[in-house]
Structure 1
Amino acid sequence: MLVNVCARIEERPYGAEVIYRKGRTMVSENKCPGCRRTVCDGCGIYRKLNTNKQVRIRFPKGFKVQPGEGLGISFDVGTTTLAGMLWDLEKGTLLEAETGANPQAVFGADVISRIQAAAGNREDLGKMQKMLVEKLDEMASEMMERLAGSGTLRRVTVAGNTAMSEILLGIPPLQLAKAPFLPDYENTVYLKGSALGFHFLGETDIMVLPPIGGYVGADALAVHGYVSMEEKEGRILSIDIGTNGEILLQCDGKRFACSTAAGPALEGGAVSQGMRAVRGAVDMVSLTGRFPMEDLTSRVIGGGAGRGICGSGLVDGLAWLYRTKVIDHTGYMRKVGEARESGVPGRIAGRIRQEDDGCKFLLTDSRDPVYLTAGDVRQLQLSVSAIRSGAETLLEKAGLKAKQLDRIYLAGAFGSYIGIESGLAIGLFPHVPKEKIYQAGNLAGIGAAMALLSGEALQYMEEERKRFTHVELAGEETFKELFLAHMNFPLNF
């Protein structure tokens, strides 16, 4: 089990027990699961164990690799984060992995800002495409370099949200920028890398997977490819929580999909001290002590001083502020006196700081302070309500209640590492028994790998895409009503 890296990772990658110690990683089998060295502080798979796109590979039941020649890469292209995996096409084995930040963030943290920039200015579209191509080229080069150059890269699959895929292809997202928000491409696109401006991948066959509809992109189709093979029957809700939250529902032979503008808050963006899940980030908040001496304590990735807070820490922190009555069900953060009168334990109330622009709460010690502000709470409320309301809108379309669901899959890096009880406490997803919620890992990345390793899997996804009813939330009165209602936290949790 990983210690002081991310306690929510419980499997042993490649059979090795990795223990973080003094800034380096010591491996019990004397080999890093990535580069196979005895001591490692920076290879690709090591870094995946310390970032927000963790390497977790388990193909669904019934999936079979169709052997090919050479090597291939599957890319999951997100608005905030990029993840790549290098595969042996003959054996279907993972050889390397790499993650990085999407460099287009200079054009805006959210997908809407990127769409507006790309649709409104051809020059900006070209710059954004070039940034993304160069970053993916760099990631591919680094993976191959660590592999010591053995083997030839034959093909690459890309699964991204609709906007990221269109920008990669150099397509102005004109239809995506205005109602009714239609994709500007429909089918799988096949190109040589050089046609998109790749250099390292210039001679490689590039395959960009198709979107489901609107903002529900190829990454969501990849998630569905996995889930629908794993769960051939039942009522299954899949939520890929990211900047552009995508929600899928399969039930009684029907398919529904929507996307919701969750924004970057749940991934550490738009929050005063938000950051990615790297060293120095608070990734867990918990209650310690007994009445009347309770206090909140925070865990920092890598140990040492806290520098900020990542998505899983934000959900935990928000949940505990609500549970301990530091904030009320509307999200209002109480002042110190108000908190004590409401029954907030003394030590916890003592962490509240009052300032001219509102209150903030100290999550760490005062030497290296990490705060959650009243403004942060409001940003998180918007994201939480968007995800919950989108999911419940799909349920209404299908004529279902949350209690009728057989399972909820939480996909994506953020969904994989949040505390389920904390998520339920703040109303992040429909209220179901926590045993029905499955944290499944980066399913978009695994689905992209399935399309890379099997022509049958790709064909299956393309056929499944046509079965979906895409629900545009902007035109749904139900969504608007739910969004206002779910801005408040659940009264019962």
Structure 2
Amino acid sequence: MAVNKNLYEITFHPLKLSVKIPAGISVLEAALQNNIPLEGPCNGKGTCGKCRVRYKGTLSAPTETETRILGPKVGAGWRLACQARVMGDVEIWLEEKQAFHTVDAGQASNYPFDPPILSRVAYKETIYGVAIDIGTTSIVASLVDLKNGGREIGVASCLNPQTQYGGDVITRITFAHQSEENTKKLQSAVIDGINRLIGELVAKTKVDPSDILHVTVAANTTMLHLLVGIDPIPLARAPYNPVFIDYREYKAAELGIKIASDAVVSLLPSLSAFVGADILAGMIAIDYHKETAPSLFVDIGTNGEIVANVKGKLAATSSAAGPALEGMNIHHGCRAEDGAISEVKINEKGEVIVKSIGTAPRKGICGSGLVDLVAELVKSKVILSSGSFAGTADLPPVLGERVIEFQGQKAFLVDPEAGIILTQKDIRQVQLAKAAIAAAIEILFQRLEFDIREVEKIYIAGAFGYHLKPASLKTLGLLPAGLGGHIAFVGNTAKEGARLCLTSKLALEEIVGVQKKINAVELSYAPEFMDNYVQQMNFPD
């Protein structure tokens, strides 16, 4: 029942939480203001279509954007939370969230056990530490026994709660800069996520939180700024100078991390605005800085971070791949969660074989499934090198019948039963992402004056990269044509590097030293980038 003509009641299910809000604000705004877990990867721009909700009550009339994205679902009680404005009392049903999956293990080198915190604190029978990898999409925390060989006794992960304010770093930077309050919201969101993971770990292991005396954090530069409540806007504006990149320490109580109040929180060093501590920690994890063979190290995500190593000379850059490779900005894209298509194969008969995560009904396509799907369609000639769909007359009937018209564009019917499709616009998003990464790789080796055909080793890190297939990477052109080398998938090296810095004084010294040895290449200042980018847009023939 309306309280007055300007204030209405909105109830969120299944939370059964009711709040009173002013007329005219969007459902997404109402959720964010009241800490309701409703994701808005595009920060309310109406471009991603991921904030779908069901409703009963009085909302504004559906917008053209909603009609285009939701189609007939609009008439069945579905709306986009960022577009629908509250015009009366209303009930909102949030989509059921499936279990989120990420990679919490990775390759790690051997460093001597010598936890740096032990020389700084009074003797205690039990001392623990937590190594944290804060990604744009996920957070992984590792609980480590610092008195018994550095044994990892528990790992937990979750979706980064900041995703409700935007799916990529630029969207979050923009949101944070709108007000000091917004910066604090993003800081609170990530701190809440960290505390939730630590709470889960201590509950499982029966560790007393007051015995946790050291935390090491590996994250991209934006995430580190937001973790400590600093407006990251300098990272998005020329000359792209971060407020800080060097190693920093805080007390847990300063940040609101619920462990021993005087515990040390170590922020590992970054290299530049978009080459963060996560990639440097990854280098330490696999001793990449000591690699003697010409090689490449890539952490593929919304922001692809890349390091080239030629005879000990190191050059690094980042390329804004965007959230497409993690399932966002894709019509039926989703995160790596139960019900997500994660693998696709088209056999010699033209049959489309898909595998999905868990046992939940299929709901969409996650990043690895998207890469597989597009690569298989390119290999099967359903998608031409330009990215356009081939004519149905040129395809075997079993594949041609899957090419359909959808909202004025062609689309491929991936799963007829679930109604999951890949649209022409989706393919374009993949082209933009893969071109950005491939062009950046080419430029790094050009700067090192080295022929990419002579590269001997390629290390692919990160949760997304871990699930990729070498054949799909090459078919798609995510790695530039001609790039040689054996491909090794090394997992979550950011977390492993943070763990090594927790357990070994030498590893901590190494990461601080490595930061000084890498040449940072800012692509926005590279005159050749746009030409390389355009050349990499097509799929390999």
User: How would you bin the TM-score normalised by the shorter chain?
Assistant: 0.7 to 0.9
1:160 maps to: 219
Number of paired residues? 432
2:472 maps to: 422
Give distance in 2, aligned partners of 1:314 and 1:434. 24
2:438 maps to: 388
Give distance in 1, aligned partners of 2:482 and 2:494. 24
1:101 maps to: 159
1:468 maps to: 518
Give distance in 2, aligned partners of 1:413 and 1:167. 22
Give distance in 2, aligned partners of 1:54 and 1:374. 30
Structure 2: any 5+ residue segments left out of the alignment?
Answer: 1-98, 119-125
Change (3 A) 1:229 1:410: closer
Match of 1:78 among 135, 154, 172: 135
Q: Which moved more, 1:85-94 or 1:111-120?
A: 111-120
1:274 maps to: 333
* Counterpart check, 1:142 vs 2:142: no
- Give SS of 1:360's match: strand
Match of 1:119 among 142, 166, 177: 177
Give distance in 2, aligned partners of 1:450 and 1:254. 24
Tell me which amino acid in the other structure corresponds to 2:201: M
Q: Which moved more, 1:418-427 or 1:142-151?
A: 142-151
- Asked if structure 1 preserves the Cα contact closer than 8 Å seen for 2:289 and 2:309, the reply is no
Structure 1: any 5+ residue segments left out of the alignment?
Answer: 1-49
TM-score (norm 1): 0.84
Give distance in 2, aligned partners of 1:285 and 1:359. 20
Match of 1:284 among 332, 336, 343: 343
- Asked if structure 2 preserves the Cα contact closer than 8 Å seen for 1:212 and 1:220, the reply is no
- Asked if structure 2 preserves the Cα contact closer than 8 Å seen for 1:137 and 1:201, the reply is no
- Asked if structure 1 preserves the Cα contact closer than 8 Å seen for 2:456 and 2:484, the reply is no
- Asked if structure 2 preserves the Cα contact closer than 8 Å seen for 1:176 and 1:214, the reply is yes
Cα shift readout 1:348-375 (whole Å, capped 9, x = no counterpart):
11111212321111212x2222211111
Cα shift readout 1:305-336 (whole Å, capped 9, x = no counterpart):
311111110001000111111111111123xx
1:66 maps to: 114
Once the two structures are TM-superposed, the CA of residue 465 in structure 1 deviates from its matched residue by 0.3
Give distance in 2, aligned partners of 1:201 and 1:150. 9
Change (3 A) 1:191 1:332: same
Cα shift readout 1:436-480 (whole Å, capped 9, x = no counterpart):
111110111111111111111011110110111111101112211
Within 5 Å, which residues of 2 pair with 1:72-471?
Answer: 72-90=129-147, 91-149=149-207, 152-200=211-259, 202-228=261-287, 231-288=290-347, 290=348, 293-303=349-359, 305-334=361-390, 338-341=391-394, 344-364=395-415, 366-431=416-481, 436-471=486-521
Once the two structures are TM-superposed, the CA of residue 52 in structure 1 deviates from its matched residue by 4.0
- Give SS of 2:234's match: coil
2:31 maps to: none
Once the two structures are TM-superposed, the CA of residue 398 in structure 1 deviates from its matched residue by 0.3
- Give SS of 1:195's match: helix
- Asked if structure 2 preserves the Cα contact closer than 8 Å seen for 1:222 and 1:443, the reply is yes
Give distance in 2, aligned partners of 1:235 and 1:311. 28
Once the two structures are TM-superposed, the CA of residue 280 in structure 1 deviates from its matched residue by 0.7
For the pair shown, which has the larger CA radius of gyration, 1 or 2?
2
- Asked if structure 2 preserves the Cα contact closer than 8 Å seen for 1:161 and 1:219, the reply is yes
- Asked if structure 1 preserves the Cα contact closer than 8 Å seen for 2:107 and 2:286, the reply is no
2:37 maps to: none
- Asked if structure 1 preserves the Cα contact closer than 8 Å seen for 2:346 and 2:380, the reply is no
Give distance in 2, aligned partners of 1:165 and 1:175. 13
Once the two structures are TM-superposed, the CA of residue 194 in structure 1 deviates from its matched residue by 1.2
- Asked if structure 1 preserves the Cα contact closer than 8 Å seen for 2:456 and 2:485, the reply is no
RMSD of aligned residue pairs (Cα, Å): 1.9
Q: Which moved more, 1:379-388 or 1:198-207?
A: 198-207
Change (3 A) 1:351 1:213: same
Quote the sequence identity (%): 32
Tell me which amino acid in the other structure corresponds to 1:339: T
Give distance in 2, aligned partners of 1:217 and 1:396. 22
Change (3 A) 1:434 1:142: farther
Change (3 A) 1:57 1:186: closer
Q: Which moved more, 1:228-237 or 1:100-109?
A: 228-237
- Give SS of 2:170's match: helix
Cα shift readout 1:247-272 (whole Å, capped 9, x = no counterpart):
01122221111111111110111111
TM-score (norm 2): 0.77
- Asked if structure 1 preserves the Cα contact closer than 8 Å seen for 2:100 and 2:159, the reply is no
- Asked if structure 2 preserves the Cα contact closer than 8 Å seen for 1:409 and 1:440, the reply is yes
Once the two structures are TM-superposed, the CA of residue 430 in structure 1 deviates from its matched residue by 2.8
Once the two structures are TM-superposed, the CA of residue 182 in structure 1 deviates from its matched residue by 1.6
Give distance in 1, aligned partners of 2:255 and 2:418. 45
Give distance in 2, aligned partners of 1:229 and 1:402. 18
Tell me which amino acid in the other structure corresponds to 2:363: R
Tell me which amino acid in the other structure corresponds to 1:396: Q
- Give SS of 2:158's match: strand
